[in-house]
Amino acid sequence: MQMPHQTILIVDDSPENLTVLSELLHPLYQVRASTSGEKALRIAGSAPPPDLILLDVMMPGMDGYQVFERLRADSATRDIPVIFLTAMDSTEAEMHGLEAGAVDYITKPIVPPIVLARVHTQLELKQARDWLRDQNTYLEAEIAKRMAENELIQEVAIRALAHLAETRDPET
């Protein structure tokens, strides 16, 4: 069995829910857990950042939506995908979570195969987005390098033509 390399942060005020989700995900992923929004923000902002956050909506103190807003406001955590976990199973609650920017919404009680499938899908999507971002960064650097080379070639060509013109006619 390979060592888990992707990290999932589970945020839930219920230790029982943390235990269930940790036991479900731990064989496949590295799992970190938090029982409060404040602690979750500290964990998410520390290195290495999690690859995915499973975030309970209803928590005392800072609720899941407030945690989510703070994650999005911080450039270090802005791109971490978040799946909301909640006992609220109304369509309005789900739409609110998705409109806020969550990548998915899972209602409790959880169905383990569905949670595993959705987590796997979101982690694959994150890997693809990260790969594309890295490719774009590489291509932008390559374009800048080639543009600098073109400008240098253009400068050399202009100087060579000027030198050639001066050689044929010193008064030009």
pLDDT of residue 92: 86
More confident residue, 6 or 88: 6
Burial bucket for residue 59 (CB in 10 Å: 0-12, 13-18, 19+): buried
Of residues 109, 48, 121, the one with CA closest to residue 83 = 121
pLDDT interval class at 138 (50, 70, 90): very high
Instruction: Assess whether pLDDT exceeds 90 at residue 50.
Output: yes
